[in-house]
Amino acid sequence: MQTAILLQRYWFQGLLLSLAVYVLLKKDISIQVGLSAAGMDLMESVTNAAQEAGQAVAMPTALNTSTLDTKPVNAAPAVQKKKAGKDLKNGVPIGNTMSNLTPILSPTYAQRKGIDPAIAEAKVELARSYVRRFAPVAIREMKQFGIPASITLAQGLLESNVGESRLSSESNNHFGIKCRSKCRSCTCRNYSDDSIYDMFRVFDSAWESFREHSQLLASPRYKHLTKYGTDYKNWAHGLKKAGYATDKRYAEKVIQIIEFLNLHEYDK
């Protein structure tokens, strides 16, 4: 009876104490627990009454705040955001913004930018797949037109971004071949990232693009380069000097692609 009277008298303090314990167990936060004098009196009275009735009561132990996680709730997301920041550029994974040829033309780029090495290797493997696909075509063109297969493959890789540029994927144009001034039987297309006056050939197949490339290099503008045989370095510099591309480093890039992928092996 005495226990029931005490519980009725101090039920509100007991409710507050239970709520505090619930918050500590469920929310994983560190708080200071202070028992009011009335609350302590309640616990002491309940204990005494229980002991008189011959019952055992488990007293709460002191709260060890050193074992609680005192990190802010949003600490983990903040770390993840910082980590993701190294891998993102304007919200897009850096690996996706990296050109397919970057690991070949700048082998240390991925390491310097903190890009997963697997991404760089995947892009190199994409270039190797392109070579395996078109090497037989380049070799046949070399035998017929005298253009080193290494030059044809390296130019194809460079001009088409390993076959994934819009010009190559939408128009089968792997060499940036423009329309001739008098193009009666060919289809041409302009792309928004070029001058409105730049019209590029549209081919029905990639093979037609390779054949047009061979015929272009067999024209009077480039035909003198055949004197270099399979000397890909002189070919690369000769193409740049003859005006094949406006990129000042065009010859160096072609040579670097050839040597990185050992394309000169196809010239034998």
The tens digit of pLDDT for each residue in 31-67 reads: 343 434 444 444 454 445 444 444 444 444 443 434 3
Residues in the chain: 268
The pLDDT, as a whole number, for residue 178 is 85
The pLDDT, as a whole number, for residue 80 is 34
Q: In whole angstroms, what is the distance from residue 216 CA to residue 73 CA?
A: 65
Q: Is the pLDDT of residue 125 over 90?
A: yes
Domain residue ranges in the chain: 2-67, 102-267
Q: What does the DSSP assignment read for 50-117? A: HHHTT---PPPPPP-GGGS--S-TTHHHHHHHHHHHHHEETTEEHHHHS-TTHHHHSTTHHHHTT--H
Q: In whole angstroms, what is the distance from residue 160 CA to residue 171 CA?
A: 11
Q: Which amino acid is at 112?
A: R
Q: Is the pLDDT of residue 186 over 70?
A: no
Write out pLDDT tens, residues 5-31. 555 566 666 666 677 666 555 544 443
Higher pLDDT, 87 or 198: 198
Q: Which amino acid is at 113?
A: K
Write out pLDDT tens, residues 207-226. 999 999 999 999 999 999 99
Q: What is the CATH number of domain 102-267?
A: 1.10.530.10
Enumerate residues 6+ apart whose C-beta is below 8 A from 187: 201, 202
Least confident of 45-49, 165-169, 194-198, 248-252: 45-49
Tokens of 193: 């990232």
Q: What is the mean pLDDT of residues 147-158?
A: 98
